[in-house]
Structure 1
Amino acid sequence: MTLRAVVKGVGHYLPERVVPNSEFVALVDTSDEWIRSRSGIERRHFAAEGETTSDLAAHAARAALADAGLEPADIDAIVVATSTPDLTFPSAATMVQAKLGMTNGFAFDVQAVCAGFVFALSNANAMIVSGQAKRVLVIGAETFSRLMDWSDRSTCVLFGDGAGALVLEAQEGEGTAADRGILALDLNSDGRYRDLLYVDGGPSTGTTGHLRMEGKEVFRHAVEKLAETAHTALAKAGLSGEDVDWIVPHQANIRIIEATAKRMHVPMERVVVTVQDHGNTSAASIPLAMSVGRARGQIREGDLIVAEAIGGGLAWGSVVLRW
């Protein structure tokens, strides 16, 4: 028998404020058509004043716990993937722990920008298969609207705020690709490409800073690396693109999503797409899309899912799991 990290529950949260593309026309030289044609984004959500990343994460966590039929006391660990924590420290995860009223277990953050949720899943999976934890709450949550340079039309129109969460539970499997749960992971990074996507602030500068991106170069690396990491993870599980029921990609840009699916030989009908409604929510985008896909009736128990993402670092990776 093989111990697997199986999805027990899923949930998400979006701030109330919906920001359509038309709101950017007064800020920068852009249009709804320009934004849609280049990114596929039609609208996104922005957090309210005083609404923090840990607030969003806690809402998503409660939704995932309710879906799993569990209470906070049933959870052994919380892992939050975020690049926009409330404070430099303590971790957003410990703040979520407190907001849930959870006094047991432990909590920590993972920072790998848009690839953060895949890295967080890897940590959670390792804790479960090693026996360190039985149930882990894995959350992706971001308030990227607070990192935007509102004079830069190439970036400020792309990002949104939100959170998504999964409850992973240890269950025994047969050790085959037919098992439910996480079957394989692939993680990568290459710090030589730091300047392609970064925030020009932090403790060393004494400022929060703004997001900076070389869009064309990030696009090129994304298309190449996302398909490659997905194929690598599938091969580790003894599977191929033909076995995939759903790709749940990082929701950054519809053209990247389409190009990656094509390279994987998976039709767009088998890709969960939410970028039009949420924009790029960084580490929140994959769990948010999983929750929405589940609510739509797209993702069902037993389906084989591939999730892949790339973000600043550059850091990228993928996970293969059976729902």
Structure 2
Amino acid sequence: MDHEPISMASRLPDDALSSPSPSPSPSPPPQPPVASTSTAHPEPGPARTITLTSVSPVDPNKRRDFSYRYYAPSSSALDSATRSFLDLPESYFQPLPSEIQHAHASSVKRREDLVDRPLLTQKLRDQHQRDHDRDKARRWPHTRIRIRWPDRTLLEGVLPSTDKVVHLYEFVRIALRPDARDVPFVLYQTPPRTEYRRGAPHLKGKSLIDLDFTPSSAFYIKFEGPDTPLVDALNDHKRAPPLVDELLGALAELPAPPTFDPRDGEATDGEGKGKGKGTVGETDEERKKREKEDKLRRLLGGGGKGRGGVTPSWMKVGKDAHKK
């Protein structure tokens, strides 16, 4: 009984002459080319500010410059620093007497403001709101915006707080490659997912400060449209974002946030001495003495003047200090 030879789909080097080669499989139909950059991020360099100009399609004389910075995803060093910061001792979460007093006073004041405040007319409420917005605009004239891309990179820019949502969309559109500028996209925040669509009626006429985006806000981006290879590539987290080459070449390391770790014993400058757990050049004997004095202050005066506590009346100078 004759047997047909078996064709091996994958063979070892020694099997090269032992069996015939398999018939080649039909090649897949060609796909339309998708413009995208490499998935690997280049080595981050020093932070650089890139300026791009937006030209009005109606009036070419109307131009506006936008400044950008492009940051790589947060490094593992920052993540490990965050994890170590979260590993705090139980004593860190025990409030001081001064903190309890402050929380109680704030709660009482908030309740009194809600119960005892006079009734206001609509005109007075609007006036108070305008005053509040004016003070907020004076305090934060600019808003820092960050766009988070699917590959976790960040596009950062600073816009005037009086800008509208349409300016925010133009800020993103100018940074895109020419082939991606005509693809519709939406900016949103999460959680909860809140979309800020360009041209939405409830956003018309509202500035960044009116939408509480000031002093800083972060947004996610999603490209929309029919299911095409281009849209899928733009939303692919394994691909680099569709930014212009100037921005992709300006990739920088994300700056580390300021540390508030109470275990950080060294002060960075003279102004910060004494704010951490220790001071520069402090010996063990001096540290134990300082900790003993701090503990005595907390027991007697609720933290002392240096910690926002209240000094007992019997410790004040003056013969009538104990009288109210």
TM interval, shorter chain, is: under 0.3
Between structures 1 and 2, the one with greater strand share: 1
TM-score (norm 2): 0.20
TM-score (norm 1): 0.20
For the pair shown, which has the larger CA radius of gyration, 1 or 2? Answer: 2
